Amino acid sequence: MWKHGILYLVILPSGHWSRWSGEWEYSSGARAKSNGGGRWYGEAMQVLLIASEVFPYSRTGGLADVMAALPVALVRLGLDVTVLSPWWQSLQDGLQGAPREVWRGSVARSGRMVPGPVRVGQLDEAGVKYLFLSTPDFDRPGLYAPDDVQRFLEWGRQVLPTLGSMGLSFDLLHGHDWAAGIVLAHARVAGLRSVYTVHNLQYQGRWNMAEAAIWSGLPAETLPAVEFYGDLNPMKAGLVFSNHVTTVSPTYAHEITTPEYGEGLQGVLQERLARGDLTGILNGLDVERWNPASDPDILPLTPQYGKAANVAALRAEFGLDAAPILSAVTRLVSQKGIDLLVGALPEVTQAWNVVVLGSGDPLLEAALKGWAQHPRVRYVSGMNEGLAHRLYAGSDAFAMPSRFEPCGLSQMISMRYGTLPVVRETGGLVDSVPHEVGFRFAGATSGDLSAALKLARAEWDDKPGWQARVRAGMALDFSWEASARQYAEVYRRVLEG
């Protein structure tokens, strides 16, 4: 059992969450309290975060970035944090080195899983313990696959038995998105408290109940609560069985209680909101990773110097003319609204160069490849980390015409790199892009995007006004500290509730 008792006097200069006689309190300095028996004691709040991917060990999107930064920020507040994710095969050759195996055993399985051991590996970084749970179905190349629902339901049912066999326990579990939902259902059955964070309600992991119920290993009496139009819904499991639900921005927390954004689960979320159990916490940004002054992929960039040099370098890289550069780094899916940008290109290219980096929908890829013949349009298929950094630093404006956006990190990065975002007013884009910095529009149409870009181009022509926006954007604080404090407060409320 990982219990790190802290003997008094406790000196924690950066602050610390501790349990004092059953209550959790935050201390910004030294604290001492008697337990009534003449001994002085305290315990760090022990939290297990569960997610399908964690940067830099595994990554396909923003969830991995959150799981890289939030645990470190919680540790800095004094919490004892462990992160659990699958032991993907690619970890064997990861940049951080392969996890060291700390446990191997056999846990009851069901369904079609091939025979093989259940293993747990561990890495330690920045005060965080990273555990990687391997089941046979994760011992293959790549990350996600068509059989992910079965894999994660089978994986999720192994979590608590495996941790128990290892002698580990935690004060609270914090699951992220549908892949962790089934773990929280098992946690509720076991009497454990939990928090569930929705990063994107659209992806729910649904599968027909007849098969999924067997894979999940849930008791029969719990199945009605996770049923959704004849399917087992792991997202609903997290929403129903956790003690508190959070989302990744305040505006998205409101949006998902409506039919437009609720993906059929708005009734469940309305109930949680009415009980005071739904909270929106804006994601932070890893400001050490995304630091324009020291980013090795770009020319040094600060509010005082470097922007013009990065713009010139990007212009030369793509052979663009003197018009301002609008970029997008994105998945090409309906959510991101890139079809709105494609529809606006006839008008937009009269005033802007456009560079898009991303992949996804074959029809959108084909459309962008066709437009790339235009002298002011460039399209790069796939994801390229170095190029993404150069686009953030070397563009003048950044397009995010999302139909919905739970939080979004690209708009925060672009502002930090002196690039002004042009965003649709939805979700975290509302909460993070001030009117005095970026350009916001309401309608999910190419015409609304074109109108916003027309205003942006007029502002670009007004150099003092544009530079004032750039400086204001680079001065915004998107570090994780404030968000981590909000999560720690939610944890406290759950544990004392």
Say if 22 falls within a structural domain. no
Helix axes of 266-274 and 234-241: crossing angle, nearest 10 degrees: 10
In eight-state DSSP terms, residue 89 is G
Strand partners, 121: 101, 132
Q: Is there a single domain that holds both residue 254 and residue 396? A: no
Q: Is residue 21 part of a domain?
A: no
Q: How far apart are CA 246 and CA 362, in angstroms?
A: 33
What's the DSSP call for residue 314?
H
Please count the other Cβ atoms lying within 10 Å of the Cβ belonging to residue 363.
11
Closest CA to 440 of 397, 477, 479, 474: 397
How would DSSP label each residue in 425-478?
S-HHHHHH--TTTSEEE-SSSHHHHHHHHHHHHHHHHSHHHHHHHHHHHHT---
Beta bridge partners of 424: 441
Is 492 part of any domain? yes
pLDDT for the residue numbered 289? 87
Statement to judge: residues 172 and 50 lie in one domain: yes
Q: Quickly list DSSP for 227-260.
A: EETTEE-HHHHHHHHSSEEEESSHHHHHHTTSTT
Give the pLDDT confidence score for residue 89 in this predicted structure: 81
Query: Residue 205 sits in which domain range?
Result: 45-284+481-496
Cβ neighbors of 157 (< 8 A, separation 6 or more) are 110, 182, 186, 215, 216, 217, 218
Q: Which of 360, 393, 396, 400 is nearest to 379 (CA)?
A: 360
Question: Would residue 3 count as lying in a domain?
Answer: no
Residue 436 lies in a domain: yes
Q: Give me the residues of the chain with pLDDT under 50, please.
A: 1-17, 20-22, 26-42, 111-113
Residue whose structure tokens are 């235009």: 374
Pair (325, 261) in one structural domain = no
CATH number at residue 240: 3.40.50.2000
Is 143 found in the same domain as 80? yes
Q: Give SS3 for 336.
A: helix
CA distances from 328 to 147, 262, 319, 337 (A): 31, 27, 17, 11
Determine contact, residues 178/204, Cβ cutoff 8 Å: yes
How do strand 118-125 and strand 100-105 relate by DSSP bridges? antiparallel
Same domain, 251 and 311: no
Same domain, 330 and 415: yes
In a domain, 60, yes or no: yes
φ, ψ of residue 119 to 5 degrees: the values are -125, 155
Phi then psi for 282, rounded to 5 degrees?
-65, 130
Q: How far apart are CA 433 and CA 126, in angstroms?
A: 30
pLDDT at residue 138, as a whole number: 85
pLDDT of 8: 25
Instruction: Tell me whether residue 403 is in a domain.
Output: yes
Which residue type occupies 380? V
Structure tokens at 363: 């029809």
- Report the distance separating Cα 409 and Cα 78, nearest Å: 26
Whole-number pLDDT of residue 109: 55
**Same-domain check for residues 350 and 396:** yes
363, 277: one domain: no
Is 18 inside a domain boundary?
Answer: no
Task: Evaluate whether 195 touches 494 at the Cβ level (below 8 Å).
Answer: yes
Same domain flag for 209 and 190: yes
Shared domain check, 381 and 276:
no
- Residues 469, 488 within the same domain: no
| 246 lies in the same domain as 320 | no
Phi-psi region at 339: left, alpha or beta (left = phi > 0; alpha = psi -120 to 50): alpha
Tell me the whole-structure pTM to 2 decimals: 0.87
Structurally, the chain folds into a number of domains equal to: 2
